[in-house]
A and B are shown apart, each in its own frame.
Chain A
Amino acid sequence: MKKLVKEDIHPKIIQRLLSSETEISFDDALENEMVLNMGPQHPATHGVLRLVLRLDGETVVACVPELGYLHRGYEKMAENMTYYEFIPHTDRLDYLSPPANNVAFVLACEKLAGLEAPVRANYIRMLVAELTRMGSHLVAIGALAMDVGALTVFLWTLREREKILDLFDIICGARFTTSYTRIGGVAFDVTDEALKLTKNFIDQFEEKIDEIEKLLNSNKIFISRLEGVGVVSAEDAINLGLTGPLLRGSGVEHDLRRATPYLFYNEMDFNVPTYKEGDCLARYFVRCDELRESAKIILQVMDKMPKGEIILNSPKKVLPKKTEIYSKMEELIHDFMIVNYGINPPAGEIYSAVENPKGELGFYIVSKGEGHPWRLKIRSPSFVNLQSLPKLVVGHMLSDVVAIIGSIDPIMGEADK
């Protein structure tokens, strides 16, 4: 292998390395700032987030997040694969909520190709998306509690999430990387048995979340660790482009399920919880409330879910059923064409966004009429939310940094893409 020489490195990078202030000098007796490298291997950075902190004692003077340790180049990879092939990759974006990512991506594809999934399929998509939201928020609450030191809550919330994963096992056929949705529908129908199990889960869920809240909400240490920490005002939140619980925790009532209804959210009766404080505690409360709202939505979805087809009958765009491929010539040809050349949506560009557990997950797709996207841009909520971190942590203590990261709840798979 050729050894790297100075000329190989981009001058910009060299300049940045030279100008970064990582030198510590002790010329002045009162000069007591320390540069602390936090991560990428650190128990509280939720994956491989790296923070470089400048500390004055325990107080944070400056913070520089370093992203990209989990960069897999998904946006570029998408340009070399068909739309169908990209669905499993969306599982790996926000790896705590794969079904919601699947839903977001196929909605974008359908918008691009001008398709409309059957009603039942859309209801099923809502069902899995809301279950995902619950699972993701449970992890967020548990991880936040663990970051401030309450380990037991984490295990309790994971126990509840485990039940959701078991439901996914029954509904989607996989617990974690579900790849459940298809362009024009979903992969499998939801059985009545699965709906019954979901109902049972929702029925006992209220009690469990009360239990978790009882342990945290009345705990003075927990409250004082989060109250007034990492405050972001409504104006700042909008300017930073924050979405999801962060934005609603700052008092802005913005939820894409309400603002630009997709699927059948406009038919659902649910509240958008908002808190004015904008601190970590408010974000925690928003997540707790959203858990209850999601449970409410799931009950309504199950009530209203009609019988019928789960996948669109559109041979040029939607994969035919497996049984038909083996028995009918036409279906075999379509299957071959879709798998090998893709669905060839008309040339154009669209932006489609949904409210994911972490915030607004958007897909900007440019098509040249080919089987694979010409450009696919992922607007991932964790990436955008993370840019508020340097603003939030300055002036707080080292212990608050982990609480703030926990309340932002970034998922590096999504932030690094």
Chain B
Amino acid sequence: MIFEFFADLLGSQILSAIIIAALPLVFIILYVLLANWLERKVSAHMQDRLGPMRVGWHGWLQPIADMIKILQKEDIVAKDADRKLFSAAPVLVFVGCYAAFAAIPFSSAFVGADLELGLLYILAVSSIVVAGILMAGWASNNKYALIGAVRSAAQIISYEIPTVFIILCIIIVSGTLNLTTLSEQQSGTFLNWYILGGDVEGWKKFALIPFMFIGFIVMYISSVAESNRTPFDLPEAESELVAGYHTEYSGMKFAMYLFAEYANMFVVSALVVAMFLGGYQSPFGYVGDLINVPWLIPIEQFFWFTVKGLFFVFVQMWLRWTLPRLRVDQLMALCWKYLIPIAFVNLLIISFLMIL
């Protein structure tokens, strides 16, 4: 939709494609600056501190100041590191997160690529992140980095299984892998959100609610684990592995990991929102409908999507500053002994319900 708009405007499909590809990047940069500031503020207020206060009102310019600082930093590559892989790894990690933004429907008018297999695509491109992290760990030629990378690979691969099970549940109920269609199916009020059974008719809707809720929880836990955030931040566990896979990185390469981490936080939140919480749909209806201004609706939808996404980003920060870190065996136990069986049984029950 937005693609056609720009193609008409500029008369060139290539230019239009470039603009559309750049828009999420602008979003990511603005969002990372906001999330970075938010993380400092959330952590500070949880710890009886004030956080950044000097640069701008309540320190809101602090992330920008930090960006300027980090751009000036020397780019160090260790002598025994594998230069090519070392330089490619942060790019790959960032690309994995950035590519996922292509299929995320920010509003009915703005979705980079309206893929039929959107959910599958996001899962697939997020896996590039694992490759990037493994490359970083190996190329650094550092034992801490290597341990962090191996931990990360094991963790992300394990936690994809419950994620896929829950995605299967959604596919069974909705019958689609397209994220835009998924959001359209949840239009109307919040009663139509898939966490509340979606637009399924009759008693099945009520029977689905508890299982959808379980699915939502499992999905959120495993997606937090996939984005390597506390309590699952073992790959970069600072008290054990110094900084994990990005121990040897500095300057802009380090910033790439930071960007990727925050972008990833939003991707997993966006996925949860799109699947369970109505995607870009407003919970109550639109002001644009009320005052009969149709062009306002996509903007409202963008607002709602961002708000929902940021809320779950906030929950991730909240968890990070409250919970201790799991141990490797406990992390795997949580996945294989609890989440996967629960997700699997959930899948069976939901499929059974939908057959009836």
Residues of A at the B interface (CB closer than 8 Å) are 34, 36-37, 42-44, 58, 145-152, 155-156, 159, 215, 219, 221-222, 224-225, 397-402
CB under 8 Å from chain A, chain B span 237-252: 237-242
Contacts of A401 in B (CB 8 A): 240
Size bracket of the B interface: 20 to 34
Q: Which residue of B lies closest to A41 (CB)?
A: B242
Given A43-B239, A58-B147, residue A150 in contact with residue B322 (CB < 8 A): yes
In the bound complex, do residue A397 and residue B242 qualify as a contact, i.e. CB atoms below 8 Å apart? Answer: no
In the bound complex, do residue B239 and residue A156 qualify as a contact, i.e. CB atoms below 8 Å apart? Answer: no
In the bound complex, do residue A34 and residue B143 qualify as a contact, i.e. CB atoms below 8 Å apart? Answer: yes
Give the distance in Å from the alpha carbon of A222 to the alpha carbon of B323 in the complex.
8
Give the distance in Å from the alpha carbon of A407 to the alpha carbon of B43 in the complex.
25
In the bound complex, do residue A145 and residue B324 qualify as a contact, i.e. CB atoms below 8 Å apart? Answer: yes
Is there a chain A Cβ closer than 8 Å to B321's Cβ?
yes
CB under 8 Å from chain A, chain B span 215-239: 230-231, 233-234, 237-239
Instruction: Write the B160-202 contact mask toward A (1 if CB under 8 angstroms, else 0).
Output: 0000000000000000000000000000000000000000000
Having A148-B239, A149-B233, one finds 20 other A-B pairs with CB under 8 Å, namely A34-B143, A36-B147, A44-B239, A147-B239, A149-B230, A149-B325, A150-B322, A151-B43, A155-B47, A155-B48, A156-B47, A221-B326, A221-B330, A224-B327, A224-B330, A398-B147, A399-B240, A399-B325, A399-B327, A399-B328
Give the distance in Å from the alpha carbon of A148 to the alpha carbon of B327 in the complex.
9
Contacts of A398 in B (CB 8 A): 147, 240-241, 328
CB under 8 Å from chain A, chain B span 310-340: 321-330
In the bound complex, do residue B237 and residue A399 qualify as a contact, i.e. CB atoms below 8 Å apart? Answer: yes
Is there a chain A Cβ closer than 8 Å to B46's Cβ?
yes
- Shortest C-beta distance, B121 to chain A (Å), equals 33
Contacts of B234 in A (CB 8 A): 399
Give the distance in Å from the alpha carbon of A258 to the alpha carbon of B183 in the complex.
69
The total number of A-B Cβ pairs within 8 Å is 78
Contacts of B233 in A (CB 8 A): 149
A-B pairs with beta carbons under 8 Å apart, 18 shown = A43-B239, A44-B239, A58-B147, A146-B239, A148-B239, A148-B325, A151-B43, A152-B47, A155-B47, A155-B49, A219-B324, A221-B326, A224-B327, A224-B330, A225-B327, A397-B327, A398-B328, A402-B239
Give the distance in Å from the alpha carbon of A219 to the alpha carbon of B144 in the complex.
28
Give the distance in Å from the alpha carbon of A397 to the alpha carbon of B239 in the complex.
14
Contacts of A155 in B (CB 8 A): 47-49
In the bound complex, do residue A225 and residue B324 qualify as a contact, i.e. CB atoms below 8 Å apart? Answer: yes
In the bound complex, do residue A152 and residue B321 qualify as a contact, i.e. CB atoms below 8 Å apart? Answer: yes
Contacts of B324 in A (CB 8 A): 145, 148-150, 219, 221-222, 225
- Shortest C-beta distance, B275 to chain A (Å), equals 26
In the bound complex, do residue B147 and residue A149 qualify as a contact, i.e. CB atoms below 8 Å apart? Answer: no
Query: Out of A37, A44, A159, A221, which one reaches B240, CB within 8 Å?
Result: A44
In the bound complex, do residue B323 and residue A219 qualify as a contact, i.e. CB atoms below 8 Å apart? Answer: yes
Give the distance in Å from the alpha carbon of A222 to the alpha carbon of B327 in the complex.
10
Given A156-B48, A398-B147, A400-B327, residue A151 in contact with residue B321 (CB < 8 A): yes
- Shortest C-beta distance, B221 to chain A (Å), equals 12
In the bound complex, do residue B239 and residue A221 qualify as a contact, i.e. CB atoms below 8 Å apart? Answer: no
Give the distance in Å from the alpha carbon of A225 to the alpha carbon of B48 in the complex.
26
Give the distance in Å from the alpha carbon of A156 to the alpha carbon of B47 in the complex.
6
Query: Would you list the 9 A-B pairs with minimal beta carbon distance, nearest first?
Result: A149-B325, A155-B47, A44-B239, A150-B324, A149-B324, A148-B324, A399-B327, A147-B239, A222-B324
